[in-house]
Chain A
């Protein structure tokens, strides 16, 4: 245990719904600037783990620490303010609003302008400038004035990422960012993830092994709510047990 505390850490994290244990004694470290992937078969508890990290669910036991500070009891909104942002496996967007407005809402909240009642939203120049920057960064400028519901799904996934980046996160949790995107479009997501700022610690949950091995410098395998293996991509790829329970043909193919 040398050096500074990791960006995000869990200690003995457990969660059960009645008799069903969905998280079992998870010890996990996400380092500063990490590019970390969380993989595992369906029902392994990956999304539950994200929900525990973000405060959507309260753990039955164990701790969540952000830079060494215990945030286990903090509500979701407070954790967001501390710098934990996420995207959702199934897009959670403001479908009736434009792309620009979607990102703007997140940016306004982060800059503390979200509760301002008398000044027009359009008069917050810093919010508009930051929103513009993010929209351009994710190459959404052409669609900025369109309603999100009219966008192809792949572009919607980019809006999802733009919203999360609008929160100026130090930890970014990407829950299957490429899920549901036709393979012809998945490169937009890959490009977007590849160009994320270096200083953000990123945890990505993904089924697409191409994406995982291209992106991750570290991989954790979750099975039945427990950490099954952890290591570099090469170690994980070489791990016989992992191949047996999960990767199987995905690596052979």
Chain B
């Protein structure tokens, strides 16, 4: 390997796991033992991480600007909720599979149409897709519970072993963490593959991507479908963990919220979803406790600061530091 171009060597190695990548998972496990009374909150954080991760694949990597990603979260959440309420289908893992399948189907079909457009048109169409689903959920009260949603859902034991813990969320937390881990491995594999690289190419210059003979639209539709499935999983987990589903799962609030999480953490960098979800939800939690009426003001100020001084999010701030460390380590070699 010594004769290899340094850039080629770097490229051939960049997908390898680095030691620090264990940190988020160790932190999540540590939190399980350190904060046994806050696992309900922790579960929400993990679900948000998964949701933001699904958005990162399309927004951060493929550059698909969407404001309607909650459509898929909501589709997954309602799939699990309606199956449990009306079909007695309350086995959690198969429920998740159904959630992912329904969300993927919606992602695929809407993607076929939406991804012919870009820019503002695309933005509006993603919003419209979500609004259509929201209205459908609102009007189909016999199935969806309408405005009130479906409360009081019960699910069977996870793998037949672990009962959902209504009070402390212990099993939910670990269950969501396990699903998140599997999804993360999938997303990480994708973004470091040639497919992921071609998505980055589309984001950076779609004209050039066409000119190198890449089937741009089908790549985008595939990415959008996978992302929708992951968002659907997050939604399904939400319904199972909390035991209810209502219209809030597919509104603009949730779609904008997850985008804020991703921008805050840093998009197009995998771990931005983790950092963003933790910081945003903690901040929201603390501010809401301290200033019950004006907490959104604090979030707003933070966003303005990020937009002005940290375009690449919190992780973007850390990056120069990391590069300097790497350079320091490189000197003796």
A interface, CB within 8 angstroms of B: 54, 56, 76-78, 80-81, 85-86, 88, 92-101, 104-106, 108-110, 113-124, 127-128, 131-132, 135-136, 141, 144-145, 163, 166-167
B50 to chain A, nearest CB (A): 19
User: A86 to chain B: which residues have CB within 8 Å?
Assistant: 211
> A101 and B195 in contact (CB under 8 A), knowing A76-B211, A94-B205, A145-B6?
no
Residue pair A117, B190 in contact (C-beta under 8 Å): yes
B57 to chain A, nearest CB (A): 12
Q: Provide 11 A-B residue pairs closer than 8 Å at the C-beta atoms, listed in order of the A residue.
A: A76-B213, A88-B208, A94-B201, A97-B204, A98-B7, A110-B213, A114-B219, A120-B15, A122-B15, A128-B12, A167-B213
Residue pair B208, A93 in contact (C-beta under 8 Å): yes
Interface range, B side: 35 or more
A-B contact count (CB 8 A): 135
Residue pair A114, B10 in contact (C-beta under 8 Å): no
> A122 and B7 in contact (CB under 8 A), knowing A108-B197, A117-B193?
no
Of A77, A119, A141, A144, which one neighbours B213 at CB under 8 angstroms?
A77
B interface, CB within 8 angstroms of A: 4-8, 10-15, 189-190, 192-198, 200-201, 204-205, 207-216, 219
Residue pair B6, A115 in contact (C-beta under 8 Å): no
Secondary structure of the B contact surface, majority rule: helix
B320 to chain A, nearest CB (A): 14
> A122 and B205 in contact (CB under 8 A), knowing A92-B211, A144-B7?
no
CA–CA, A89 and B213, complex, Å: 18
Residue pair A93, B205 in contact (C-beta under 8 Å): yes
Of A78, A108, A145, which one neighbours B7 at CB under 8 angstroms?
A145
Known contacts A105-B197, A114-B194, A127-B194, then 15 further A-B pairs from the complex at CB < 8 Å, ordered by chain A residue: A56-B210, A76-B213, A81-B213, A92-B208, A94-B200, A94-B205, A94-B208, A105-B198, A105-B214, A109-B212, A114-B195, A115-B195, A120-B189, A124-B194, A163-B208
User: A113 to chain B: which residues have CB within 8 Å?
Assistant: 194
